[in-house]
């Protein structure tokens, strides 16, 4: 066991936050290797504190470790200092439970949460001495699989990953592991295994698809080989109540990003904001029952000792039983000294009632996301929030004692003008004014309103998937204009690096020809691209140059509706016709009602679950 290697202790003494690397946390699972025939490494391509906050990992860790003969361990990207130490000592990257090198694992499962973590995937494989290219890994050992939101366009990773999971992982991972075990016992070769795996619904094996390109660089055809399905449909769990949910989490020693018990109250989103990939790829909207959530929260708190529960989802205030749920939770949380937090409140239904019920939680600050500065642009993106609602909400919050508010916006949205940029500042200023208009505002305390503007990145499976992203130059001009418009010291303005949004845009809608670029960027030393202190635009641009790939082709080009997109053979339920309809409505600044008000026939009803199949007679 490498972990017992005395060198490892020396290394831990030399790095920042050694608890990231020691393992041994409460509820971490240690199994006897003799009883295990499939070893699975859940790899999160970011630091421990980020990865450990991720609910999906906790769910899969629980599911896989419940399987007999399967041992799932955790691996995170070591920070720069730790990587240096490991490389200097010629030690491999290891999994936290056993301390064994990744090379010892049958399956390495990466989660794809954001495009900017791709370089870390390569680096993690490299740190374990595992060949990066899928074609160079022979045999079943070290099978590299990946899932998560970015798997909806996994093409840039096609050279490196053996197979992808589309959609929700609760069942599909188990099915794959069972097939893997069978093939391992029967000594089946890797190619044959992949061919069989491709028959599991939701499994996408990129090497079984032949992609051809036209002269203008766009795709001419995608042909399945060896009996692989022409369309791969994502997996969906229809019944959230009977679905597996871990009753214990690994409890870190370190303070991580979300250090609390998390209960998922719903999946999917009814809203259909046109820029938001999550709003489409997780459809349909499905809710857990109050009883289930209550039971799960209780056992989680009992098994972890956490004194805070977060009710998580894309939009928790859309949970229709929110008030009954809070009432139910409050019957025991106060005695147990447990607080409740709601991470994603919406502007339009933030009520005093809910606020009173969650007041046990420390008042750190409130965040709202109007996303665009003018009503016209909010209509374009289908963010159905009015200025009036926002003002009402912030006034409620100010009356409730809050005095710090964060507002999130995007710049570079389709049809945006400078007037929309000015609108961002105006809206921020109105929030400041609303604070001073409140006669019972706390004496002697000022208000702080911060406006944060990120660069818009068009994503697959959204109505904006055909849109050109603003160039770095355009984004920078808009950022400058934004800052120039601010005239109050109460208003703080932040924006994201335009070059980072650009790179994200390239990979979000990229295709297989980005594989060599990624490999070259890795050779140039790119890693932790999502971290300001690590990101190097120069290295990335060098990689594009060396590979003779034009990043603007992916980020800044307008696609026509009839172009074959790199992700067209992946099926997330949402139809292209619907997305085209939505895109055209966007240009007209026409809004689309949410799934609760009216079904817009997006295609997700094919999964026959959740809100799509609910009795809607009351709506007619």
Partner 1 sequence: MKTVRIWFKKLGAARFISHLDLNRCMARAVHMAKIPLWYTQGFNPHAFITFALPLSLGVRGERECMDMKIDETKITDEELLLRLQKTLPADLPVFAVTDPKEKPGKIAYALYELKMCSETPENAETDLFQKWESFLNQEKIPAEKRSKSGPLVVDLKPDLQIRKIFQDGETIYTEVLLPAGSEYNLNPSLLVETFRSQSGASFFCEYTRHCLYNKQMEPFQ
Asked if 611 touches ligand SF4 (CB under 6 A), the answer is: yes
Contact call for residues 40 and 70 (beta carbons, < 8 A): yes
Selection from ligand SF4, partner 1, none that 255 binds (CB < 5 to 8 A by kind) is partner 1
Selection from partner 1, ligand SF4, none that 599 binds (CB < 5 to 8 A by kind) is ligand SF4
Q: How far apart are CA 402 and CA 442, in angstroms?
A: 9
Asked if 236 touches ligand SF4 (CB under 6 A), the answer is: no
Instruction: Report the nearest approach of partner 1 to the CB of residue 400 (Å).
Output: 16
Selection from partner 1, ligand SF4, none that 307 binds (CB < 5 to 8 A by kind) is partner 1
Buried (b) or exposed (e) across 374-398, using 16+ Cβ within 10 A? Answer: bbebbbbbbbbbebebbbebbeebb
* Cβ atoms within 10 Å, residue 190: 17
CA distances from 350 to 37, 358, 497 (A): 50, 12, 31
Burial of 406 (0-12, 13-18, 19+ CB in 10 A): middle
Buried (b) or exposed (e) across 300-317, using 16+ Cβ within 10 A? Answer: bbebbebebbbbbbbbbb
The SS3 assignment for 233 reads: strand
Q: How far apart are CA 203 and CA 151, in angstroms?
A: 11
**Please, which residue, 250 or 611, has the CB nearer to ligand SF4?**
611
**Please, which residue, 304 or 536, has the CB nearer to partner 1?**
304
Q: Which residue of 604, 617, 618, 620 would you call a contact of ligand SF4, by CB under 6 A?
A: 604
**Please, which residue, 27 or 426, has the CB nearer to partner 1?**
27
**Please, which residue, 19 or 375, has the CB nearer to partner 1?**
19
Alpha-helix residue ranges (DSSP H) falling in 252-321: 278-281, 290-304
**Please, which residue, 92 or 614, has the CB nearer to ligand SF4?**
614
CA distances from 434 to 42, 370, 430, 449 (A): 47, 16, 6, 11
The single-letter DSSP state of residue 604 is: G
Contact call for residues 509 and 465 (beta carbons, < 8 A): yes
Asked if 284 touches ligand SF4 (CB under 6 A), the answer is: yes
Contact call for residues 161 and 145 (beta carbons, < 8 A): yes
**Please, which residue, 392 or 581, has the CB nearer to ligand SF4?**
581
Give the residue among 398, 317, 404, 407 at the shortest CA–CA distance from 369.
407
CA angle 197, 199, 203 (to 5 degrees): 60
**Please, which residue, 475 or 612, has the CB nearer to ligand SF4?**
612
Selection from partner 1, ligand SF4, none that 524 binds (CB < 5 to 8 A by kind) is none
Stretch that binds ligand SF4, among 56-64, 65-73, 470-478, 600-608 (CB under 6 A): 600-608
Instruction: Report the nearest approach of ligand SF4 to the CB of residue 55 (Å).
Output: 22
Instruction: Report the nearest approach of ligand SF4 to the CB of residue 512 (Å).
Output: 30
Burial of 358 (0-12, 13-18, 19+ CB in 10 A): middle
Selection from partner 1, ligand SF4, none that 251 binds (CB < 5 to 8 A by kind) is partner 1
CA angle 385, 388, 394 (to 5 degrees): 90
Asked if 575 touches ligand SF4 (CB under 6 A), the answer is: no
Stretch that binds ligand SF4, among 108-116, 124-132, 367-375, 599-607 (CB under 6 A): 599-607
Asked if 602 touches ligand SF4 (CB under 6 A), the answer is: yes
The SS3 assignment for 580 reads: helix
Q: Look up residue 396 and give its two tokens.
A: 């409620």
Q: How far apart are CA 402 and CA 448, in angstroms?
A: 10
Asked if 524 touches ligand SF4 (CB under 6 A), the answer is: no
Instruction: Report the nearest approach of ligand SF4 to the CB of residue 614 (Å).
Output: 8
Asked if 279 touches ligand SF4 (CB under 6 A), the answer is: no
Q: How far apart are CA 303 and CA 315, in angstroms?
A: 26
Instruction: Report the nearest approach of ligand SF4 to the CB of residue 385 (Å).
Output: 19
Q: How far apart are CA 392 and CA 431, in angstroms?
A: 10
Contact call for residues 18 and 3 (beta carbons, < 8 A): no
Q: Which residue of 283, 378, 459, 539 would you call a contact of ligand SF4, by CB under 6 A?
A: 283
Selection from partner 1, ligand SF4, none that 320 binds (CB < 5 to 8 A by kind) is none
Q: How far apart are CA 181 and CA 175, in angstroms?
A: 10
Instruction: Report the nearest approach of partner 1 to the CB of residue 528 (Å).
Output: 22
Alpha-helix residue ranges (DSSP H) falling in 155-231: 172-185, 190-197
Selection from partner 1, ligand SF4, none that 284 binds (CB < 5 to 8 A by kind) is ligand SF4
Selection from ligand SF4, partner 1, none that 203 binds (CB < 5 to 8 A by kind) is none
* Length in residues, the chain: 620
**Please, which residue, 10 or 480, has the CB nearer to partner 1?**
10
Selection from ligand SF4, partner 1, none that 600 binds (CB < 5 to 8 A by kind) is ligand SF4
* Contact footprint for partner 1 (CB under 8 A): 6, 9-10, 12-13, 18-19, 22-26, 251, 253-255, 301-307, 337
Instruction: Report the nearest approach of partner 1 to the CB of residue 307 (Å).
Output: 6
- Interface map 239-278 toward ligand SF4 (x if CB under 6 A): ----------------------------------------
Selection from ligand SF4, partner 1, none that 18 binds (CB < 5 to 8 A by kind) is partner 1
Q: Look up residue 131 and give its two tokens.
A: 């060949």
**Please, which residue, 303 or 448, has the CB nearer to partner 1?**
303
**Please, which residue, 188 or 596, has the CB nearer to ligand SF4?**
596
Instruction: Report the nearest approach of partner 1 to the CB of residue 2 (Å).
Output: 15
**Please, which residue, 263 or 462, has the CB nearer to partner 1?**
263
Q: Which of residues 139-198 bind ligand SF4 (CB under 6 A)?
A: none
Q: How far apart are CA 504 and CA 555, in angstroms?
A: 9
Beta bridge partners of 604: none
Instruction: Report the nearest approach of ligand SF4 to the CB of residue 601 (Å).
Output: 6
Q: How far apart are CA 523 and CA 546, in angstroms?
A: 12
By CB under 6 A, name the binding residues for ligand SF4: 283-284, 595, 599-602, 604-605, 611-612
């Amino acid at each position: 066991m490498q972990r017992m290697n005395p060198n490892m202790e020396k290394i831990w003494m030399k790095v920042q936050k050694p608890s990231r690397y020691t393992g041994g946390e409460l509820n971490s699972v240690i199994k006897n290797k003799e009883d295990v025939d499939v070893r699975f490494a859940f790899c999160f391509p970011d630091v421990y504190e980020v990865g450990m906050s991720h609910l999906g990992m906790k769910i899969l860790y629980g599911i896989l470790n419940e399987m007999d003969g399967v041992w799932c361990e955790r691996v995170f990207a070591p920070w720069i200092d730790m990587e240096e130490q490991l490389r200097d000592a010629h030690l491999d990257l290891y999994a936290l439970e056993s301390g064994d090198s990744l090379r010892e694992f049958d399956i390495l499962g990466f989660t794809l949460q954001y495009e900017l973590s791709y370089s870390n995937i390569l680096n993690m494989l490299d740190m374990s001495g595992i060949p990066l290219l899928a074609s160079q890994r022979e045999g079943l050992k070290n099978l590299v699989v990946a899932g998560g939101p970015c798997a909806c366009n996994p093409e840039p990773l096609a050279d490196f990953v053996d197979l992808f999971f589309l959609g929700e992982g609760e069942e599909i991972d188990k099915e794959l592991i069972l097939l893997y075990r069978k093939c391992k016992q029967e000594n089946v070769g890797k190619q044959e295994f992949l061919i069989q795996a491709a028959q599991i619904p939701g499994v996408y094996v990129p090497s079984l698809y032949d992609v051809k390109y036209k002269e203008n660089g766009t795709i001419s055809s995608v042909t399945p080989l060896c009996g692989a399905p022409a369309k791969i449909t994502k997996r969906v769990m229809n019944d959230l109540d009977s679905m597996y949910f871990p009753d214990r989490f690994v409890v870190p020693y370190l303070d991580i990003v979300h250090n609390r018990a998390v209960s998922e109250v719903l999946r999917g989103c009814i809203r259909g904001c046109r820029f938001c990939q999550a709003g489409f790829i997780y459809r349909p909207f499905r809710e857990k029952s109050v009883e289930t959530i209550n039971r799960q929260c209780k056992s989680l708190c009992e098994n972890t000792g956490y004194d805070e529960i977060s009710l998580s989802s894309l939009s928790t205030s859309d949970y229709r039983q929110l008030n009954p749920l809070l009432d139910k939770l409050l019957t025991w949380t106060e005695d147990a000294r447990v607080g409740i937090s709601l991470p994603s409140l919406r502007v339009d239904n933030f009520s005093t009632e809910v606020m009173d019920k969650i007041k046990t939680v420390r008042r750190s600050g409130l965040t709202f996301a109007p996303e665009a500065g003018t009503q016209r642009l909010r209509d374009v993106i289908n963010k159905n929030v009015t200025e009036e609602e926002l003002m009402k909400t912030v006034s409620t919050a100010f009356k409730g004692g809050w005095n710090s508010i964060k507002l999130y916006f995007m710049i570079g949205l389709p049809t945006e003008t400078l007037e929309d940029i000015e609108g961002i500042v105006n809206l921020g200023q109105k929030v400041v004014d609303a604070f001073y208009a409140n006669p019972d505002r706390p004496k002697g305390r000022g208000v702080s309103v911060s406006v944060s503007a990120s660069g818009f990145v068009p994503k697959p499976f959204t109505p904006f998937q055909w849109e050109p992203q603003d160039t770095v130059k355009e984004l920078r001009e808009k950022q400058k204009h934004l800052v120039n418009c601010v005239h109050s010291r109460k208003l703080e303005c932040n924006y994201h690096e335009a070059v980072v949004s650009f790179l994200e845009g390239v990979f979000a809608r990229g295709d297989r020809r980005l594989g060599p670029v990624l490999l070259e960027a890795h050779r140039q030393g790119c890693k932790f691209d999502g971290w300001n202190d690590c990101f190097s635009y120069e290295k990335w641009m060098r990689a594009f140059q060396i590979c003779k790939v034009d990043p603007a082709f992916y980020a800044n080009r307008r696609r026509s509706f009839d172009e074959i997109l790199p992700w067209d053979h992946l099926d997330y339920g949402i139809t292209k016709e619907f997305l085209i309809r939505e895109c055209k409505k966007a240009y007209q600044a026409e809004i689309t009602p949410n799934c609760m008000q009216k079904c817009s026939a997006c295609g997700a009803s094919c999964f026959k679950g959740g809100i799509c199949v609910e009795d809607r007679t009351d709506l007619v």
